[in-house]
Amino acid sequence: MTAIGATRVDLTIGHTHRNLPAAELVERALASGEGRLASNGALVCMTGDRTGRSPKDKYLEDTPGIHEKIWWGSVNMPITTEHFDEALAIATEHLNAVPDRYVFEGWAGADTKHRLGVQVVTEMAWHALFAQTLFIEPGSASDPSGLPWKHDWTILNAANRRLTDEEQARFGVKSPVLIAQSIERKLVVILGSEYAGEIKKSIFYAMNFDMPEQGVFPMHCSANIANDDPTNVALFFGLSGTGKTTLSADPNRSLIGDDEHGWGPNGVFNFEGGCYAKCIRLSQAGEPQIWNAIRFGSVLENTVIDEKTRVPDFDDGSITENTRVTYPVDFIPGATIPSVAGHPKNVIFLTADAYGVLPPVSKLTPEQAMYYFINGYTSKLAGTEAGVTEPQPNFSPCFGGPFMPRRPSEYAKMLADRIKKYKANVWLLNTGWTGGPYGEGHRFELGYTRAMVTSILNGTLAREEFDADPIFGLFVPRHVKGVPAGVLHPEDTWDNAERYRAQAMKLASKFRENEKKFIMSDEVLAAGPKC
């Protein structure tokens, strides 16, 4: 029996299945109708009407012990202790009544000195497989310590229990979905959403609160390391859809992880044991490592498959543009296991600029690094959140605002301290639009973006000559091997230079408006756009 506050999930009644092998979880998911097998062996599951995260339905228990540490607002919305208790009671009653419960117990954090023990209790076998894939199994190659598992955080996932109209009125919410998290109790309650990403992001949120108190900077980034140089570590910051997973899956480099990491005293380490990649318009030629990782033991979410052949159609976004695949990190050939490495030489900020005016690559001064990190500009891409059907300009502090319980200035200072101490180069890479805004222009070619990343990581781009962008002040290289010079300066890609400048000034003013939300030094403010 697992005690959680005054409420218990009784794991002794019905059938509780703890840390089942992946093959058995797949078998149970198929038998219960939770999913189907694709021709490549992946388990294909649908998540109902929630095909992305539900940030407007996420709440944090407000208690005296944590109140002053939290960045309250639209990201961190409070729920009272009384309402949290009620949500917990609803979830536990539901989970106690189901005939089968699936429990995963493992770790978040590949550095054995800085990790959390995670327990996931769910009514769906495929959610348990998702947790097993995304977190670190005790005793696996990713966990060579041999230490016994310890319990820190619990997720109670009552995906099929939605709030009634009366309960919604009592809670003061307007949705049958509720995700409630308590930092003091180390507990997450999920009601009404089958989208598995809520499991993943709840623990990332937990790490983002807990790790700074251990001297670890938590980061929404992917990371890799050169095959021939263990000191050549790179970080890729960015929100969903900006290319973290795609650009860090490189045959010439070993993957550390694709989404969530810590930067601690000994270097970088993965928070997870798996990858959660977008697969809309995935192709074998464009992203061979991800393509080949989709096999038995992986989970495809909301992906259309042919009724007869069961072949996935990755170009079909009729269910959602946010189609996803989950697979263990060791499905990527040569991945670093355990997922730990040294301090990074290069830090890359990824943005998908829907205005079509930012350069595809630029080098940042330390002050620019702080300015663009704390603003965290990108575009929300279709499907990554409920209700987002086309790209929208979006400022997300630290490139991870939805997952940051603490104030952005705390995370920005941690990054600044580490960049200075370890002398890392910082870059802004635009994987968004060029030649015009969304709807008129087109996205940068992946081949060009990869060439820019290669030049960053092999050190040649840092030795190039640079020109300052007249509006944003960003330092744009004059040459990048494998990239036409006309691509590097966005104004040259537009048919009308006057329209370009008007659009660029529009985005620059958005930056200046957004910066007012934060406290920044005069030097950092001066590093922003020139308007």
For residue 188, how many C-alpha atoms fall within 13 Å in the half-sphere facing its CB?
25
Cα–Cα distance measured from residue 223 to residue 234, given in angstroms and rounded to the nearest whole number? 6
- Per-residue burial over 335-370, b = 16 or more CB atoms within 10 Å of its CB, e = otherwise: bbbbbbbebbbbbbbbbbbbbbbbbbbbbbeebbbb
Catalytic residues: 53, 201, 220, 240, 244-245, 259, 324
d(CA 496, CA 356): 13
Q: Which residues pair with 356 in a beta bridge?
A: none
CB 55 within 8 A of CB 385: yes
**SS3 assignment, position 238:** coil
Strand-pair partners of 403: none
Q: CA 463 to CA 363: how far, in whole Å?
A: 11
Query: Residue 394: helix, strand or coil by DSSP?
Result: strand
In this structure, the number of other CB atoms found within 10 A of the CB of residue 265 comes to: 11
Question: Can you tell me which residue has the tokens 């979905």?
Answer: 177
Q: Which helix (H) or strand (E) holds 498?
A: helix 497-514
From 429, 416, 454, 405, select the one nearest 226 (Cα to Cα). Answer: 454
In sequence order, which residues have a C-beta less than 8 Å from that of residue 496 and are 6 or more positions away?
none
Instruction: Classify burial at 81, counting beta carbons within 10 Å of its beta carbon; exposed 0-12, middle 13-18, buried 19 or more.
Output: middle
